[in-house]
Structure 1
Amino acid sequence: MLLRASHVWLLLLGLLAVGGNSVYGQSVVAGHSNTFAIRPDGTLWAWGYNSAGPLGDGTRIDKTTPVPISPAMKWRSLAANVNYAVAVRQDGTLWSWGWNGLFNSPTNTTPTQIGSDANWQSVAMGLENTMAIRTDGTLWAWGNNRYGQFGTGNTTSSETPVQVGTATNWQSVSVGSYHTVAIRTDGSLWAWGGGGLGQLGDGTMRDYTSPIRVGTATNWQSVSAGYYHTVAVRTDGTLWAWGVNNLGHLGDGTTTPRSQPTPIGTDAKWQSVSAGWEETLAVRQDGTLWAWGNNKQGQLGDGTTTRRLAPVQVGTNTDWQSVSIGATHTVAMRTNGAVWAWGSNAYGQVGSKTLLSSPQRLPHQFSESITWQSVASGMYHTVAVRTDGTLWSWGYNNRGQVGSGIPSFSNPQQIGTATTWQSVATGAEHSLAIRTDGTLWAWGNNSTGQLGDGTTSDQAAPIQIGTATNWQSVSAGYSHTVAVRQDGTLWAWGNNSSGQLGDGTSGRRLDPVQIGTNTDWQSVSAGYYHTVAVRTDGTLWGWGENLSGQLGIETSNRHSAPIQVGTSTDWQSVSTAYDHTLGVRRNGTLWAWGRNRYGQVGNGSSGELTSHIRTPVQIGTDANWQRVAAAREQSLAVRTDGTLWGWGNNSGVLGNNSTTGLFATPVKIGTADTWQQVDTKFDHTLGLRRDGTLWVWGSNLYSQLGIPSRSAMPLLILDAVIPLPVELTAFTAQRKGPLTVALAWQTASEQNSADFTVEQAPDGRTFTALGTVAGQGTSSRPHAYSFTAYPAPDAAYYRLVQRDVDDTRAYSPVVFVEAASTPATTLQLVPNPAHDQVQVSGVGPDAVLRLLDALGRPVRTGKGTILPLHGVTPGIYLLQATQPGLAPARPAS
């Protein structure tokens, strides 16, 4: 969306036009296993692999989200390889950081200037060498030159830049692993360096130490060198490729290598292209994105990991602007400036905090904007219900347990379109859910009848179990299921080899069967091969396997019918897993029994000699336990104060930032005190907080956390910093009284506009939301809006945040309103527009001047009445002047 303002009314901030025509747009670059982005304001951001300092942030720590690099510096272009980065600043100086692996060079974790020249224009980098073009059109090289990739006529390496020939008409250059390709201003294409695999395009398989011309065409527009292949676009829009092709990365539909430029298809609508190690991506003139070649890490972005021998479209968007490929990941930019990335995230190079490698040792917030009401963890999958009643799942799907016909997936997928789901339960490989109408549904593995549909056939999508409409709760064991109806009756089905159904037999049941005739069952929990339940009179009952004492009845005998556990009548809830059980009494005390080899009982002991606790023992003396969850070798619990606790074998399930050690007594997990529910059975854990947010931790081997270690689809990494297509024709803010500020704005048209949020900041930087006004969606007609800020007695800055229906956001210019009953002085800017400096009248020598861009971000500061403007990118700016004892200033009309 393009947000345009025809005028801005303000009191303290004056519009300052800086003369000139040059502007620096946003660009993105994929290094080997890291990513860089230059924003329109010239700031550089980086993320991903950083062990040798190639990000330039002063550390050697990998970054999973973008971090600013030397924020005071403004950048023009950048190139990066595995451990090293080289970039050109907007002032034409050349800088590098990281470790280049040559000449015993030191490792620099922050940008270090190369030489003192200030006429560098662009850079390109291969595995071991760097090429750069100066503003005078000369080409320069440095680094390793063992294959002649410098183009200087020899194989002599150099630590400092050396000129390539005497030509002064080089336009662009690209470096592959050990070969170089470049275009001159006359449209001719040249290549040199390692050519043993045909990547130079001259029809041979030999190396060249000097540039050789590739064919006679004079209409080459852009070229990109991959690891051992090359791709290029001509001015007529045709696409050409040559070199290695074993994985189809030339895109001609074959795996045949080519030693000369070969046309790719017959389309003449290609705009730009990027060659990766073994893959290629390109943008067409219609803004569509296409990909082909190796796709093992999802780097093509088509939602699969399938190799492609010919171009396939990536999604359906028509606003792609540029693309760059690393070793196994891809980064691209849309025309609105938003940065998207996909592929391997082994080092955080995709840059999304929703992509993490396994295991995740600390609770990771699943989503900041989505709220959940019920979650359940299976062996390697997860099922959850949102507060809107929709059903979602993710993880391993070998038996259909995720509930979708799609193979295993790592991102949450909605199951169907129903909005009446209420609660969920999961076994090892089967899932169940209850709807608000009381119906019961099941899907997944059904080898022992655990779905309850009368068959042993797996189900890949939810099916209704029977016709009953009074199901209250359900619990799934390893391969059996138990449930309570609203009339208090207890039902069970599935595997019964250890008597875990409780019907007095050991035969499996393919349909729900009632257990006894009692109508006072309150809750039930299914373990691997046993079951425990609480009645409304507070008594506790168990049945099934009991080898480790998990039933809590002193002996190790199994029971095929419910047997009472002790004589207490104040049990409140119970949870059981593999072979130990946890229970909470109505007085808030915590009790546990069963196998204790890893300390999962929590009574302070562990090991084989004391591994079986056959009757319930109290855990500590605290009386504020609320919820419990038993896993295979661990236990977790929530107290009434909202804190989370864990104990047992720490394989990452506990969430205490470790995957080692045993904890034989409860230990507090983190500092949060808003936990409401926790669920765990095997190697991963889910937690719900009181605000409805979902948190996940533990093993992520099968992406059961819902946060994959790679993405085969584009993910939004950096929001657009240029506006969206809402045409804003006016935005004003005026004081209407001592406590009231009236804001008004008008739009000429809107496209996919969701709403406008009014924000206020006392300092022009720290904005907070005051309120939201709904937008018009898509409309070609003008609309007027208003909002009243109250109470608003103080001087403050105001802006609009326009939000699109896909949650993309843009910002209006900032306006200022002076404090109530404060007389204002006059502020004048001379000259305006300005070039080298601007003088401010109406302030004294101790005034602080701050130059802000249209989004209110500081660009330059100064003191006194004159602000130098050297090096400021041409554009429209706001000037803020503050001075002790001086009322806010008003600009002249």
Structure 2
Amino acid sequence: MSLTVEVSLISGKTVSLETQPDDSVDSLRLRAQKALGVGKGQLLSSTGHVLDGGSSVSDLKLQNGEALALRLRGVRISGRHAVAAILGDGSVVTWGPAERGGECAVSEQLKNAQHIQRNAFAFAAILSDDSVVTWGSARNGGDSNAVRDQLQNVQEIQANDSAFAAIRKDGSVVTWGAGTSARSSPQLKSVRQIQATLMAFAAIQHDGSVAAWGASSFGGDCSAVQDQLKNVQQIQATQRAFAAILEDGSVVTWGFPRGGGDSSAVQDQLKNVQQIQANLASFAAIRNDGSVISWGALGGGDSAAVQDQLKNVQQIQGTNLAFAAILKDGSVVTWGEADFGGDSSMVQDRLRQVQQIQATNGAFAAILSDGCVVTWGDAATGGDSCEVQHQLKDVHQLQATFKAFAAILHDGSVITWGDAGYGGDSIGVRSQLNNVQQIQATNAAFAAILNDGSVVTWGDDKFGGDSSTLDDQLRSM
């Protein structure tokens, strides 16, 4: 005997659909999407729970006249080498190098995915029931069979280069993958946040204390400063060191000394710190009065030459070996290695009313209030935008790979520059780059999400630059 259900969007638009007890939830969802004229979404019960697409109407005991909701979510993309995309219905598609997660043997398990985390070799997805599914390089976290029973009630996952750490709702932590960081400390309880270097993790517990584990030369041993790590509010990381901001605004560091782990030279100045930015081996701390203190390796660790200019700093961005600070008046101050953007003198007179800055490995790009873009740093990694400068108008978003930039204009078109092999040349897909809403980047490729939910990719195929075989799956309608 048939029954009728009401399916509504958040806008209030509603359709009535007749269904049979043995119809699947997926078939009901597809009909609802078509009737409402929208893309892929997830059906929710009246209590807000995601309905299992493989279940039947009778399995879920849906009643005649029951009210359901269709939740629409845009495509969410994650990746460094390979790429994984969560579609609107919670399913996942992958592309790129198979050995780094570009091929997924567990795709049937990837239903109602809510969030994806990635390291350099593998992916981990949290599903709507708070369980976890992993794939990619088995050794580096793609195989979680040894801890599968523990991967329940997971609320967040953090990753370093080759391991994962999952925080469960009770504050306990589950780790897996390669290296010593895959073996967590047994005293970890009530964890609220985890940060990572390349080969170590640091966890802030609810009492404000910190536990670190992994390779000691990457910050995995904080015993030398353990007694100082109290009332910690947040942690930032370079590749090999950690910096913790305490409740009183002071800072504690540990890890590789020349990678930012030794702040002794500036320790007396690290007071009233509200925010810390990091590049590969240096930290830059913004204090409450808008001044900046930096330490670490030469690439940004020494800001003495511009110290008197670093006033009223609002935000800081970093390349591998340099920093750029936006001041309250919209001007910019840079320091660090000149070849990595640490010297902006050639464009200093144009750096006015800067709204935001994006960075590749060796260059910066700034969006001005009028939508124009100013670039500097290593020309080969996007520091020279002369060839497209006349097109860089009305820019509202910038994204970057290691060596190239992509700009979304207000009309939804895209302009790219930098190393062609890293996404700097988009001529092959230019005709498709219309009505672009956002762009995500891997190390060497870009993925643009269009207004209709479809995805266009370009750049190095080995880093997710070619998704053409998945075009049908990557369409929302």
TM score, norm. by length of structure 1: 0.26
Q: Looking at secondary structure, tell me which structure has more strand per residue.
A: 1
Normalized per residue, the structure richer in helix is 2
Q: Which has the higher contact order (CA 8 A, sep 6+)?
A: 1
Larger radius of gyration: 1
